[in-house]
Amino acid sequence: MLLRLSILAALLFVLSVHSTAIVKRQSSDTQQAISAFNDARKQFAEQNQVANMHELSYDGDLESKAKSMANCDVKPGSDYMVIGSTDSQELNVASGVTATFPLQTRMGCAKMSKQCVENGVTLLGVCLIGPHSQGSKSDYKQGAPGSQCPNGKTSSGLCKTSSSIFSSFAILTIVFALNLMFSMN
């Protein structure tokens, strides 16, 4: 009995640590960036009749990766695309395409810790948008915005990112703990 309770306590601790990382509070700069990108994504979806444009939400892991690039070491990754914030606040064509890729659902940003110049453009910050590192034209579904959302749509008309508040990890942890408890009887 004591062993079961110890194992359950350990699993619940792991789950709480994992959940805390998910709901980590983002900075006001990140909130503003996500809001601005969601507004731009909504406008793009309306103008181009993109039916499956997802809303972006904060991701602490992507923010941590962006912060690690704040020393001008900006590089692509396997689970995100890079968007640079310039001194003129204008996004270049490549960033615009990245920002409007409809299947992206997560975002994290960081300010540059020093002046970074790439291809003659000064970067003030970097945002990472994921979970995809690339997209294709076939990922854009035509139709009224929000009309082809697998998990429903938000009040803004963009697609919801998930129908569940629990991550797959959390669900698996709970199932494993319950299975372990009942199998030891």
Confidence of residue 6 (pLDDT cuts 50, 70, 90): very low
Give the model's pLDDT for residue 35: 87
- Assess whether pLDDT exceeds 90 at residue 132: yes
Q: What amino acid occupies position 128?
A: L
Q: Where are the chain's structural domains? A: 2-183
7-46 per-residue burial string, b: 16 or more CB within 10 A, e: under 16: eeeebeeebeeeeeeeeeebeeebeebbeebbeebbebbe
The answer to whether domain 2-183 has CATH 3.40.33 is yes
**Least confident window among 62-71, 75-84, 139-148, 172-181:** 172-181
Measured in degrees and rounded to the nearest 5, phi and psi for residue 181 equal: -65, -45
Q: How far apart are CA 133 and CA 141, in angstroms?
A: 19
- Sheet-wide strand order for 81-86: 57-58, 106-118, 121-130, 81-86
| pTM tops 0.85 | no
Give the model's pLDDT for residue 184: 61
Give the model's pLDDT for residue 172: 57
User: For 142-154, what is the mean pLDDT?
Assistant: 94
- Assess whether pLDDT exceeds 60 at residue 155: yes
User: For 154-171, what is the mean pLDDT?
Assistant: 71
The pLDDT tens digits for 61-102 are 999 999 999 898 888 899 999 988 775 544 443 456 678 899
Give the model's pLDDT for residue 169: 55
Q: What is the mean pLDDT of the chain?
A: 77
Give the model's pLDDT for residue 176: 60
The pLDDT tens digits for 14-65 are 444 443 344 445 566 677 778 888 998 999 999 999 999 999 999 999 999 9
